[in-house]
Structure 1
Amino acid sequence: MNKIIKLISAPILSFVMLIGLTSVGNAETTVSAEVGFIFNTLFFLICGFLVMFMAAGFAMLESGMVTSKSVSVICAKNIGLYAISGIMFWLVGYNLAYGIPEGGYIGNFVPWSDASALETGYSDGSDWFFQMVFCATTVSICSGAMAERIKLWPFFLFAAILAGIIYPIVMGWQWGGGWLAEIGFSDFAGSTLVHSTGGAAALAGIIILGPRHGRFTKSGVPTPIKPFAASSIPLVTIGVFVLWLGWFGFNGGSQLALGSFADAVSVSTIFINTNLAACGGVLAAAVVTRLMFGKTDVVQMLNGAIGGLVAITAEPLAPSPLTAILIGAAGGVIVVFGTKLLFSYKLDDVVGAIPAHLLSGIWGTLAVPLTNPDATFSAQLIGVVSVNALVFIVSYFVWSIMNSLFGITLSKEAQAKGTDVTETGVIAYAIRD
């Protein structure tokens, strides 16, 4: 019996000794450098897994929002862009962002290689993976906005440019220690650096691309819903819940450490504020659509969740729970009015990515000084304007060049057949008479 007890207790005691608890004071736990390295690396990897799962959420959301004749292409775009983002971020993106000189503008064009050291506090590979899935998220934002009329391979080409060059440059301005970090710009997990970047690139794309054939009347009024009906609202809902789940990795992982009492408390606070902001976005969109249109728009509620999540991403740690709800609620309201704004300019954003990511991202970034005393409105404004201006201008130029060289918009006839037929030859849903 004693042997059994020793056998069971030995590994338990060893584990306790490993994680050390070498001293406890001022409500903070100190562990050895190696144990901190292990915890932080594991934290990066787990949060990275969650953010990767957002790729599935985007695929579900977009597949449900397009018509049933364009679902296979959405699936192809989402798995394709993830693969492209992974390769491009390894090939050039990571060091373009993190090879930047202090206060500089651009890093170096060399592939990533592992340079792990105990002094860093986490495995270099875990950081690469965590940052790579952020890159893929940025590219995913573009996919749904331009759905049902863009050619597949031009989109893949743009995905490579966005993942390998455009996103890493603006990312490096802040997270790589570039010039925005130098002036005091603050964007905790990427309301601007990720979400507005994806939204600005998508806005440039839909301007060049034009709306789906028949989407607007000559007077600019959106056509009745039937020709453009979403293929599956339940699938959209599941997609949003998957994104909501992934966002805990997105924002929580941006604490960048889980090796101390303070870090654990901070991550918990971030989770709470992230969740409450999404709740605020949902309910605000529900109330506003009911008051404005006499009906509660479930699509706007779902996008309201995204808008709330995007808004809190710039600063999920400092706000109180009530403030987080209000920040998220404002994001939900922005989604509703942003959608009407796009309609007024006859801009066809199939999934509502631009209101949810670009506009809510701008709001969330500008709201940071409301709760973070270290941030200034002037630095936030400079960051928002510079990032979105660069991304929009470069993206507009790239889309324009591609359009002039080989065209990016499917013909009227191809759109009528459906992109599943014309682009992949794989039909997602059986056509019924």
Structure 2
Amino acid sequence: MSVTYATTEELAAMQEQLTSNLSVVWILLNSINIMLMQTGFAMLEAGAVHRKHIKSILSKNLMDCAIGTLAWWGFGYSIFTMSNEFATNKTESFAGFFLMFAFAVTCGTIASGAVVGRLRFPTYMILAFFIIGCLYPLIAGWVWSEKGFLYGRYTDVAGGVVVHGVGGVCAFVAAALIGPRNDRFDGLGTGDVVVVPSPGNSPPLQVLGALLLFCAWFSFNGVSAGLGDAEGLNAASRAMVTTLLASSAAACVGLILVRSITGYYDLGVTFNCLLAGLVSVTGNCSLIDTWAAVLIGAISAPVFIWSDRFILYKLHVDDPISASALHGVVGIYGGLCTGVFHRTEGVIHGHGDLLLVQLWGTLLIVVVSGVSVFVVLQVLRLFSPKRKLTVSAEAQLLGMDFYYHDRDIIENLTAARIREFNVRKQAMARALALSEKTSSSHSDGTASQAASSLSADVVVGDMDFEAKKPVFSLLHKKSGV
């Protein structure tokens, strides 16, 4: 029996084919993991909003994927590749299509939580369609497509700026343009603005969402760093380790920082700092040393905390899930860190050219993203009822779920009752703020007593609110929605 041996050329071809097949499998498996980030965002946002908006926010996250798929298939991927090969069935790059769609829908869904509780549902659908199908593929094509004018110049490994920075800027512009929820600020437009607390409804859901994002992020960064060959897998391994180190450092610093400032531990700030660490190294995960990952992640915690407070308390922009600071500000910070901590071309090694490119490239991306969303929303305003992007005050009080979904409402609960309840809650917030200001100079405790009295009244009202849950009633008026 004769034995046939493969030639060197045949062996090389077989090895190349095997590497190609492994790369496709690597891309597909990681793309599936990245799609699980949608579950993470959905759980995080559902736990962070008032229970009267839960179905609305979950519907937005669900429809991001559905409407985003059609936008990406129709023209988004063609814009990204700057060709029409996929749309005309002249290519079989389905793995690349799937991976980049997972990135696109991640960018689009970031804005969903920032506008919860007031933006009209159809308006949000159009905005998500635009971000996923037009804005993201345009900017991603500039940076990652071989035909893009920033390709090979601007460095963003996994989308710290291209995905998260763009999504965060869109969230900020949308939240600022449509204005806050009616019950978020007291005294807005005056010199004495009080931020009314807006706690989430489920810390377990928030933590579940954060941990799902944490796990999926390793695929997000890993698959971007390298493909299925030996060199690519080594780069992916480095990316995953730096991702782990940065997020861990950020969570630890955030926990300690908040404890030292406020005197207590804040679960929400801690898991947001964990996510901030992930965002901060997304653009440079395979290009930095481990010590740099720890440093970048550690600094991302105060960057997030202070920018989030500035946006809320100084700019008075209502962003319930802090997407503007978490993805926008921290994403930009991470993009600049690439120019500083790059293993060979960073400022720490005596090179400044990359940092300059990162500066003007990031500025360009931020400006284009912000202006585009601003223009789209202004156009949508022209076609909105009463030229308003938001739902009516009544709809905000009763909840988006009631108006846009199954109208599940508490018996005898009217807009007037909820409005009265919120007035009393705001009065309590003012009394508590007054108590803090006067506690050092007044010993009689009058303000504190007033605050306590108001607090007790609100608790009683809230208990009465809960007692009427079992029976449903429909309001006959659907004003302005």
Q: TM-score range by the shorter chain?
A: 0.7 to 0.9
Say if 2:40 and 2:212, in contact at 8 Å, map to a contact too: yes
Say if 1:338 and 1:359, in contact at 8 Å, map to a contact too: yes
**Aligned residue for 1:102?**
none
**Aligned residue for 2:393?**
412
Which aligned pairs between 1:373-412 and structure 2 lie closer than 5 A?
A: 373-374=344-345, 376-406=354-384, 407-412=388-393
User: Partners of 2:48 and 2:23 in 1: how far apart?
Assistant: 38
Deviation at 1:371, TM superposition (A): 2.7
User: Partners of 1:77 and 1:426 in 2: how far apart?
Assistant: 17
**Aligned residue for 2:71?**
88
Alignment CA distance shift 1:181-1:374 (3 Å) = farther
Which aligned pairs between 1:163-242 and structure 2 lie closer than 5 A?
A: 163-177=132-146, 178-181=148-151, 184-218=153-187, 219-223=192-196, 225=197, 228-242=198-212
| Residue of 268, 282, 295 corresponding to 1:326 | 295
Deviation at 1:109, TM superposition (A): 10
**Aligned residue for 2:466?**
432
2:42 pairs with 1:59: yes
Structure with bigger gyration radius = 2
Runs of 4+ in 1 over 3 A off after TM superposition: 107-110, 426-432
TM norm structure 1: 0.86
Alignment CA distance shift 1:112-1:298 (3 Å) = farther
2:242 pairs with 1:273: yes
Say which SS state the counterpart of residue 118 (structure 2) adopts. coil
Say if 2:20 and 2:228, in contact at 8 Å, map to a contact too: no
TM norm structure 2: 0.77
**Aligned residue for 2:327?**
357
Deviation at 1:339, TM superposition (A): 1.2
Say if 1:135 and 1:194, in contact at 8 Å, map to a contact too: yes
Alignment CA distance shift 1:322-1:429 (3 Å) = farther
Q: Which has the higher contact order (CA 8 A, sep 6+)?
A: 1
Deviation at 1:114, TM superposition (A): 5.8
| Residue of 70, 83, 95 corresponding to 2:53 | 70
Say if 2:172 and 2:323, in contact at 8 Å, map to a contact too: no
Letter in 2 for 1:94: Y
User: Partners of 2:43 and 2:64 in 1: how far apart?
Assistant: 15
Say which SS state the counterpart of residue 275 (structure 2) adopts. helix
* Fraction of identical pairs, as percent: 26
Deviation at 1:429, TM superposition (A): 11
User: Partners of 2:108 and 2:172 in 1: how far apart?
Assistant: 13
Q: Flag structure 1 segments of 5+ consecutive residues without an equivalent.
A: 1-16, 24-29, 100-106, 117-123
Say if 1:69 and 1:427, in contact at 8 Å, map to a contact too: no
**Aligned residue for 1:46?**
29
Letter in 2 for 1:386: L
Say if 1:196 and 1:358, in contact at 8 Å, map to a contact too: yes
Alignment CA distance shift 1:128-1:114 (3 Å) = farther
Deviation at 1:98, TM superposition (A): 0.9
**Aligned residue for 1:111?**
87
Deviation at 1:113, TM superposition (A): 3.5
Deviation at 1:341, TM superposition (A): 0.7
Letter in 1 for 2:46: S
Alignment CA distance shift 1:195-1:114 (3 Å) = farther
Q: Deviations over 1:75-125 (max 9, x none)?
A: 1000001111111111101110111xxxxxxx6698363613xxxxxxx11
Q: Deviations over 1:304-358 (max 9, x none)?
A: 1111101000100122222212111222211110111112111000001111100
Say if 1:205 and 1:396, in contact at 8 Å, map to a contact too: yes
Deviation at 1:282, TM superposition (A): 1.0
Alignment CA distance shift 1:359-1:109 (3 Å) = farther
Aligned length: 390
Letter in 1 for 2:177: I
Which aligned pairs between 1:287-326 and structure 2 lie closer than 5 A?
A: 287-326=256-295
User: Partners of 1:281 and 1:294 in 2: how far apart?
Assistant: 19
2:116 pairs with 1:139: no
User: Partners of 1:55 and 1:427 in 2: how far apart?
Assistant: 26
Say if 2:142 and 2:151, in contact at 8 Å, map to a contact too: yes
**Aligned residue for 2:19?**
36
RMSD, aligned CA = 2.3
